[in-house]
Structure 1
Amino acid sequence: MDHFCRFGQPQQANILFFDMKGRGHCPNVVSYTTLINGYCLIGGIGDARKVFDEMLDSGIAANYLTYSVLVRGFLRKKDIEGAKGMMCQLWEKMRVESEASMKMAAFANLVDSLCRGGFFNELFRIAKEFALGGSLCEDVAYGQMIDSLCKVGRYHAAARIVYIMRKRGLVPSVACYNYIIHGLSKDGDFMRAYQLLEEAEFGFLLSEHTYKVLVEALCQVLDVDKARKVLKHMLSREGVDKTRIYNTI
């Protein structure tokens, strides 16, 4: 079923689904979610919703991934209201269940769908209100938002999530800062990249390549003083090959 769905043939997966039932097997939430995802992948949100309703009528409860798959399906069709309705059900499901790995997978799927669909305002609304009610580790959830935004090249938006985190008293990880500063530097927004580094008060060590990219960007606009500060911090790392760094710079 999963292979048929991945190749855009959910109708064939549906035939297999009925054959499975005819042979005495009982479809579970995984079977139904696989079929729902298959229809969502080809834009058949109506068929996906029918399978979802059939699942509930059969007495099988949807899990986090079922709801997140449907949210992605609605977003593919640009149906934000339908997606919001499913998101509300997803939050409720998360509040009463305790399996952290499944919840995080569903949340990651949701955030990726919002970013790939360009629904950044909805993502910021979730980030500010954090409607999950504490059902997920906030650091991990915000980190997922930053990762998804960076994947679609929205480094400024990712920096905005950092601001929201710090306002809530949370400390973004080194990986988060590394992704954003590197991305901003490559995109030419070196001043915002340097500002992020200053906001963290140089309290962490980025990858050597990220420092190099930022120093290069600052040098290109002749801001040598800031470039020197970054270089000095870069050289303060323990165990670095200073000769290679000096030659590179």
Structure 2
Amino acid sequence: MIATGCPPDTVIYQRIIHQLFAKGKGAEALRVFSEIKLRGYDIDRITYTTVIDGLCKLHRIGEAQKMWDEMVSRGIEPNEYAYCSLVDYYCKAGDFEKAHKVYEEMLEKGMKQSTVSCNIFISGFCVHGMVDKAVGVFDEMVTNGIEHDDFTYNTLIQGLCKVGKLAQAIGMYERLLSSGLEATLPTFTPLIDAMCQEGQVDAAVDLITLMQAKGLEPLVRSNDSIINGFCRISRPDSGMAWLAGMLKRNIKPQRRTFNSLVESLSTSGQLNDALLVLNIMFKVGSELGTFACTTLVNCLCTGNVSYSQKLDDILVSN
């Protein structure tokens, strides 16, 4: 554009800077920012905020703070987005003292508590396992009449599931539905994982059925959770049935899931099925783990010779 005599305007420069930061190209973004200065463009609040946010996302907080100071020294007051960029960085870094200090300054400047700023604290607390504090922020939002969005609920559901508070997570899921919001893949996935961990596999299957009725396909990880969950509660037959459904949909389970199923079938004495799964594993390019292999061999040693011969045939052919 410059070569044709039509240099970019400030808005185009802002977009270029944003895209460069989004691609992790911080040095290039700062070079463009310097070019704006050299060309005598008026650097406004949006441009500074774009740079500050980009630097924070690249964990370059020292440079972000210098850019902040430069902006303020030029008489440009930071907006809510700029404040939230710093708060988000400090929350993700686990420095909640600094996050609160910046947040309090934002409120003192007359900016209001918002869904975005509350979500930042909820996310930060959940990432660092401080779920009770995250729920406290949620309750504060209710008290202050601040709207919850799907990010609020999904973040809390994931955080609660992560620390083993499944009952609370289900309660949060029910509140999401009662608020009129739609449950999405990020809502269902942690619930399915947690239910399978807690042995509530049939409830997890019901959730997947509900997802599919809404046109949502579960992640491979969720399917794996179902099979591992069935194995955990000694229902390898159900695990095999789920595996068959996955293969029909051309979904390949993870290696850990195959091994879990082989081990569970072997332990329950279903050696023909264990060998069948083993054969499928090899055909889809997966490998048998040491522990599952040991369990299978030990069980075969207590069975008849024909099982051992089948294992030999599978190993030789693969």
TM value normalised by structure 2: 0.48
Query: How far apart are the structure 1 equivalents of 2:230 and 2:204?
Result: 14
1:130 alignment counterpart? 141
- How far the C-alpha of 1:70 sits from its partner, in A, is 0.5
1:33 alignment counterpart? 49
Opposite residue 83 of structure 2, the aligned amino acid is: Y
2:210 alignment counterpart? 205
8 Å CA contact 1:8, 1:38 repeated in 2: yes
8 Å CA contact 1:68, 1:110 repeated in 2: no
Would you say 1:189 and 2:169 are equivalent positions?
Answer: no
Query: How far apart are the structure 2 equivalents of 1:64 and 1:159?
Result: 35
- How far the C-alpha of 1:110 sits from its partner, in A, is 5.5
Compared CA separation, residues 94 and 82, structure 1 to 2 (3 A): same
2:233 alignment counterpart? 221
1:160 alignment counterpart? 168
Opposite residue 233 of structure 2, the aligned amino acid is: V
Compared CA separation, residues 113 and 213, structure 1 to 2 (3 A): closer
8 Å CA contact 1:36, 1:48 repeated in 2: yes
User: Aligned with 2:210: secondary structure?
Assistant: coil
Residue deviations 1:135-174 (CA, integer Å, cap 9, x gap): 43x2435334247649xx8274576354357579945744
1:179 alignment counterpart? 189
Compared CA separation, residues 169 and 116, structure 1 to 2 (3 A): closer
- How far the C-alpha of 1:47 sits from its partner, in A, is 3.2
Structure having greater relative contact order (Cα 8 Å, sep ≥ 6)? 1
- How far the C-alpha of 1:82 sits from its partner, in A, is 0.8
Query: How far apart are the structure 1 equivalents of 2:50 and 2:143?
Result: 25
Would you say 1:83 and 2:90 are equivalent positions?
Answer: no
- How far the C-alpha of 1:49 sits from its partner, in A, is 2.2
Aligned residues: 211
Would you say 1:93 and 2:98 are equivalent positions?
Answer: no
- How far the C-alpha of 1:94 sits from its partner, in A, is 4.2
Opposite residue 221 of structure 1, the aligned amino acid is: I
> RMSD across aligned C-alpha pairs, in angstroms?
4.6
- How far the C-alpha of 1:67 sits from its partner, in A, is 2.0
Opposite residue 188 of structure 2, the aligned amino acid is: N
Compared CA separation, residues 145 and 32, structure 1 to 2 (3 A): same
- How far the C-alpha of 1:26 sits from its partner, in A, is 1.6
Query: How far apart are the structure 2 equivalents of 1:41 and 1:139?
Result: 22
Residue deviations 1:5-57 (CA, integer Å, cap 9, x gap): 82343xx6445424313322122233212321343345443432232233234
Task: Provide the identity percentage.
Answer: 18
1:247 alignment counterpart? none
Q: Which moved more, 1:138-147 or 1:168-177?
A: 168-177
Compared CA separation, residues 119 and 132, structure 1 to 2 (3 A): same
User: Aligned with 1:124: secondary structure?
Assistant: helix
2:25 alignment counterpart? 7
Compared CA separation, residues 40 and 185, structure 1 to 2 (3 A): same
User: Aligned with 2:211: secondary structure?
Assistant: coil
User: Aligned with 1:134: secondary structure?
Assistant: coil
Query: How far apart are the structure 1 equivalents of 2:30 and 2:224?
Result: 53
User: Aligned with 1:205: secondary structure?
Assistant: helix
Max Rg structure = 2
1:233 alignment counterpart? none
Opposite residue 81 of structure 2, the aligned amino acid is: L
Gaps of 5+ in 1: 98-102, 228-240, 245-249
8 Å CA contact 1:155, 1:183 repeated in 2: no
Q: Which moved more, 1:84-93 or 1:44-53?
A: 84-93
1:51 alignment counterpart? 67
Query: How far apart are the structure 2 equivalents of 1:23 and 1:57?
Result: 20
